[in-house]
A and B are shown apart, each in its own frame.
Chain A
């Protein structure tokens, strides 16, 4: 770590694991060295009156490393999905990717569960762990073969790596691009029953229980799927669940006019499912919210709906969307940062995601009320495929430090 002068952020509202704390935060030698009420003399001093000082966001399950977008969104670390070209199914690729963002952004690669992400042969997970992989992911797809999935979960349990699963029964989904229901039917879009998610979750929970594995569902988007996760947690199973803002902000109404920015995987669901996701965030069934950042240019999106690639550029809007849940009084501000920082870091087993002495100084300054308008054409991301285009929102990161070093945003 490059030597930098100590920085003190004063007059701040600190978002800590123990709640909001008025005071100051000191960063020195790349780490957080003091918190709260202390003598703030020496080094640079920054006045953070009216702003929140929070841990940098940790984004689990992104599809591209897109630093300007991550920095704009206050994201200091991201776990990269193995769905790259070529896939992250070899130690050498994992090793290369794990260094690719430094120094101002850290990438935690997720190892491909199977070779070529084909769902048949388990990849060299232990070697990829040595190379820097922080978890194992099935990719955009469900592993259809239950035997392969069980052996994968057993192996990952032995290595104490979390398995990050995509929960959609592949045979039911087929070529579907929408959730079966009135809107898919009106638009004539190939659709899959909403139950495809709960079926996949039920199977994977049973297999993970047998294997004693840590299982994380990257996105749980349906009431039935969330009920299964809720029950498994109540029974003590080591399972966690994530979601992206699209599934608590939007329903399949957003696919009107065949808008391909709303073509996502899993597809947008009904209004009832959207409300179920919000309830699950409030009651703790959902542990983390991530961006699913997947910038896609016109060659992937300016196509008929069924021919377009799924995915959205979500890094810039992640925090604002989660803060909207605070404004809607569904969650507290401290819970918001548990969802985007603390819990994702815990899933990956990295010393980050909370303001604590000795932690890497990944820190953001947030103006939680700052109004802005999401504009597809003016995004920092490599592509502007946001389903929130034109939407006014509130909450922006105004300054960011990665390892104690200020990053231009």
Chain B
């Protein structure tokens, strides 16, 4: 139903299953540049489908996808659920509250249980860094990381890249990749898996990434990952093509990291006045959920020509469809994908 040769850029990556030789999607860190581009290109067809009134194919008909979320989520869970259903799969959501699955063998046991139920793909969100990799070792089907602790959130990194590429193209820029772009990520970098996945993804596609946060919210040694570190938001915004705002992850904070939300907004809130210090066409992104009036003002979040926040959400479904489609091709015996990963 969705062979890779329908892709407009098939020449950019190896043929068939070699275009994406991984069984799982655990992090952007495991991906090559051409593999990222492959997933982005694959997602374009689903962007188009999702804009039709009948948004359904049966590519994954008969397959069972389990969304196992060990941490609360609304938008990511919904996005994965919609993605699976639009591809025709049977989608089951498992909510495992942190309190009920606290420790011990339970996580491994859960993985073994899901495996015994013959899931065809498992989507996992967990509060602990590396947890999805641990589960992936225990199951026979593809595992998609929907966020593990403070480590990675690869589909978020991919959807942000897709949303940005899409917006740039709409503006008439060729946007093959992000070479030459200055992208600012501002907010709680320390606790953010989104920041890590975005940093890796945007850099792989050629962008220069600036990270901005107060010192307490900036992870030590992040410069070694190639980012430029700022504590002064105005300085970071100078010449920025894109600014991505992150919320304060108070649920992950033990102890006080900032004096108050009011003071944080004063120093790091994206206001209209501050945005004017960047470029006249600087794009604004936010992975959500937003805390309006803290890290971003409503008038910025809702700017029609500059904010691509709702586009990010839209691209999220398409990217997840692409990931589910690609990762299940081997099991489905799609032409050129038969060999084991």
Contact = CB atoms under 8 A, between A and B. Distances in A.
A97 B148 CA distance: 42
B107 A188 contact: no
Nearest to A305: B130
Contacts of B108: 298, 302
A183 B29 CA distance: 13
Nearest to A192: B220
Interface in A288-313: 298-299, 302-307
A257 B220 contact: no
A47 interface: no
Interface string B76-111: 000000000000000000000000000111011000
Interface stretch (A18-26, A82-90, A173-181): A173-181
A304 B111 CA distance: 13
Contacts of B219: 180, 184-185, 191
B24 interface: no
A43 interface: no
B151 interface: yes
A96 interface: no
Contacts of B148: 188, 304
B52 interface: no
A17 interface: no
Interface string A186-207: 1111110100000000000000
B301 to A, nearest CB: 27
B74 interface: no
Given A175-B254, A180-B220, A257-B133, A303 B107 contact: yes
Contact of A304 (B126, B196, B224, B225): B126
A292 B224 CA distance: 32
B220 A304 contact: no
A269 B196 CA distance: 22
A73 to B, nearest CB: 29
Most buried by B among A193, A306, A307: A307
A315 to B, nearest CB: 25
Contacts of B73: none
Given A188-B149, A188-B193, A299 B221 contact: no
A185 B128 contact: no
A258 B29 CA distance: 14
- What range describes how many residues of B lie at the interface? 20 to 34
Contact of B134 (A182, A183, A189, A304): A304
A257 B132 CA distance: 11
B128 A306 contact: yes
Interface string B48-61: 00000000000000
B129 interface: yes
A307 B220 contact: no
Nearest to B138: A302
Contacts of A299: 104-105
A185 B227 CA distance: 12
Given A185-B225, A188-B193, A298-B105, A258 B220 contact: no
Given A185-B219, A303-B103, A258 B134 contact: yes
A251 B272 CA distance: 47
Given A258-B134, A304-B107, A188 B254 contact: no
Nearest to A298: B105
Interface string B118-152: 00000000101111011000000000000011111
A19 to B, nearest CB: 46
B255 interface: yes
A191 to B, nearest CB: 7
Contact of B254 (A174, A181, A183, A193): A174
A321 B104 CA distance: 31
A27 B194 CA distance: 66
Interface string B237-275: 000000000000000001100000000000000000000
A189 B129 contact: yes
Given A181-B220, A193-B220, A258-B134, A188 B104 contact: no
Contacts of A186: 29, 196, 225
A298 B107 CA distance: 12
Interface in A29-48: none
B222 A185 contact: yes
Interface string A303-329: 111110000000000000000000000
A299 B103 CA distance: 8
Contacts of B131: 304, 307
Given A181-B220, A258-B129, A304 B254 contact: no
A394 B155 CA distance: 47
Nearest to B70: A304
A181 B150 CA distance: 14
Contacts of B220: 180-181, 184-185, 191, 193
A174 B104 CA distance: 22
B105 A302 contact: yes
Contacts of A257: 130, 133
B302 to A, nearest CB: 31
Nearest to B195: A188
B297 to A, nearest CB: 29
Contacts of B196: 186, 188
Contacts of B149: 188-189, 304, 306
Contacts of A181: 220-221
Contacts of B126: 304
Contacts of B152: 188
Contacts of B107: 303-304, 307
B221 A180 contact: yes
A405 B271 CA distance: 80
A188 B103 CA distance: 20
Contacts of A258: 129-130, 133-134
B129 A187 contact: yes
Contacts of B134: 258, 302-304
A333 to B, nearest CB: 39
B29 to A, nearest CB: 7
Interface of A: 174-175, 180-191, 193, 257-258, 298-299, 302-307
Q: Which 7 A-B pairs have the closest CB atoms?
A: A258-B130, A304-B128, A188-B151, A188-B150, A182-B221, A180-B220, A182-B224
27 contacts: A174-B254, A182-B222, A184-B221, A185-B221, A185-B222, A188-B129, A188-B148, A188-B152, A188-B196, A189-B129, A189-B130, A189-B150, A257-B130, A258-B129, A258-B130, A258-B133, A302-B105, A303-B104, A303-B128, A303-B134, A304-B126, A304-B148, A304-B149, A305-B128, A305-B129, A306-B128, A307-B103
Interface of B: 29, 103-105, 107-108, 126, 128-131, 133-134, 148-152, 193, 196, 219-222, 224-225, 254-255
